Amino acid sequence: MARLIDIENRPDEAIAAAVSALADGFPIGLPTETVYGLAADATNPQAITRIYETKGRPRFNPLICHVATLEMAERHAAFDPLSRRLAEAFWPGPLTLVLPRRPKSPIHDLASAGLDTIGLRCPRGFAGAVIAAFGRPLAAPSANTSGKISPTSAAHVAADLGEKIPLILDGGPAGVGVESTIVKVEGDRLRLLRPGGVAAEEIEAVAGRPLIRPAASGATIEAPGMLASHYAPGAAMRLDAAAVSPGEALIRFAGAAVAGEADAVAVFDLSPSGDLAEAAANLFDFMKKADATGATAIAVTAIPRTGLGEAINDRLARAAAPRP
Ligand code: TXA
Ligand code: MG
């Protein structure tokens, strides 16, 4: 069973234990501001293979590599003025930039899936201190079994992967709650590969240009995390619900009353005050809790699509998609 260390009470011990496990080539549960990551040395092929084994990921997707600083990022990818402007505006924070990889970067091909680009992000909070102490980038997908809901607490990670990894750092609930926004920089064009913790509108304001959205259906998959069914709870998900049926659990938003509520198995409000950032932070935890009620289905009311609502709706759509 994984050792759990509370980073607030024992930060030095947490960093020392993390550096030691990472140096031995093991993945660890690492809190970031978005979700908990399953983090391993991005330069060590065995460590990266262990990430895939631990998650039960069916195949090798490119992983996001996490850095402590922009300076560290520049050793692994080529930044132009536009990508540097975005990094300076949003790092540390929930933005991943897909950039041309530097040929001499020691990040292993297994982390970048042999592509000539690399996904880099500089997380906010304690993860940065761990990366700085380790001195090398950390590849880190979300710390959950492949296809399941991403973890936003150390307890989520322990329940899912605790038997498979040596260490989980406990940083409390993840503040953002959805994964990072992924943007691919292609010359002066910016492509939104995944909506996430930074609202697309904020990026567009800094970049002074629109983000190119993924084409609807039939497009080639650029970010494999964009595969349709993902984040799946056990119960069926029913979106844009106007009413809830007996036997169903309800996830609603902004305190809005929903027909049939009194007979729902359980009712969760993502943000009674209608704050999308609070809703994003609660989303995965409430999906897990709604699922744990044993409800036949989880009915979810319509959530606004602006700002962080874009990422929330993206994750809900994936959770509701037909399962493979
Ligand atoms: O918030 C997050 O981003 C979390 C936390 C742990 O940092 N991490 C995360 O990583 O969501 P992961 O590995 O689950 O998601 C990686 C996504 C995948 O969809 C992958 O295809 C895409 O990033 N990606 C990574 N490198 C890429 C590249 N070079 N080109 C295109 N997509 C890339
Ligand atoms: Mg994931």
Q: Where are the domains of the chain?
A: 3-212, 236-320
Tokens in use for 150?
A: 């991403």
pLDDT exceeds cutoff 60 at 6:
yes
pLDDT in tens, 67-101: 999 999 999 999 999 999 999 999 999 999 999 99
Nearest-ligand number for the alpha carbon of 65: 1
pLDDT band at residue 322 using 50, 70 and 90 as cut-offs: confident
**d(C-alpha 158, C-alpha 160), whole Å:** 6
CA distances, 46 to each of 60, 107, 257 (Å): 13, 13, 52
Indicate if the pLDDT at residue 126 is higher than 70. yes
φ, ψ of residue 15 in degrees (nearest 5): -65, -45
Residue 162, pLDDT > 50, answer yes
CB 32 less than 6 A from any atom of ligand 1: yes
Query: Averaged over 32-36, what is the pLDDT?
Result: 98
How large is the angle between the packed helices 276-292 and 309-320, nearest 10 degrees? 20
Q: What is the Å distance from ligand 1's center to 59 Cα?
A: 14
- Banded pLDDT at 57 (limits 50, 70, 90): confident
Tell me: the pLDDT tens digits for 206-260? 999 999 997 654 444 455 455 556 677 889 999 999 999 999 999 999 999 999 9
Mean of per-residue pLDDT scores for the chain: 94
Confirm if 312 and 276 have CB atoms less than 8 A apart.
yes
User: Residue 294 has what pLDDT?
Assistant: 94
- Range from 45-59, 146-160, 212-226, 293-307 carrying the lowest mean pLDDT: 212-226
Is residue 31 within 8 Å of 152, Cβ to Cβ? no
* Ligand positioned closest to the Cα atom of 230: 2
Strand locations in 111-198 (E): 117-121, 138-139, 167-170, 181-186, 189-194
Q: Do domains 3-212 and 236-320 have the same CATH topology?
A: no
* Measured CA distances, 240 to 122, 123, 126, 300, 316 (Å): 34, 32, 37, 6, 10
pLDDT of 147 above 90: no
Task: Establish whether the linkage from the previous residue to 166 is cis, with ω within 30° of 0.
Answer: no
Q: Is 3-212 a CATH 3.90.870.10 domain?
A: yes
By percentage, how much of the chain surpasses pLDDT 70? 95
Cα 41 to Cα 51: distance, rounded to the nearest angstrom: 10
Inter-CA distances, 134 with 72, 142, 172, 311, Å: 12, 20, 22, 31
- In whole angstroms, what is the distance from residue 214 CA to residue 204 CA? 15
CA of 255 to the centre of ligand 2 (A): 29
| pLDDT (0 to 100) of residue 231 | 73
Q: Under 8 Å CB-to-CB from 10, ≥6 apart: which residues?
A: none
Average pLDDT over residues 171-180: 98
The per-residue pLDDT for 217 is 46
Ligand found nearest the CA of 214: 1
Picking from 177, 131, 186, the residue whose alpha carbon sits closest to that of residue 153 is 177
pLDDT tens-digit readout, 204-215: 999 999 999 976
**Exposure on the CB side of residue 136, measured as CA atoms within 13 A:** 19
Query: Does the structure show a pLDDT above 60 at 107?
Result: yes
Distance 123 CA to ligand 1 centre (A): 13
Residue 134: what pLDDT?
98
- How confident is the model at residue 324, as a pLDDT? 67
Confidence (pLDDT) at 224: 47
Residue 236 DSSP symbol: E
Looking at residue 232, its pLDDT comes to: 79
Give the span between the Cα atoms of 123 and 95, in whole angstroms. 8
C-beta of 181 in contact with ligand 1 (< 6 A): no
pLDDT of residue 215: 65
Fold classification of 236-320 is Rossmann fold (3.40.50)
The whole-angstrom separation of Cα 251 and Cα 120 is: 33
Check residue 216 and give its pLDDT.
Answer: 54
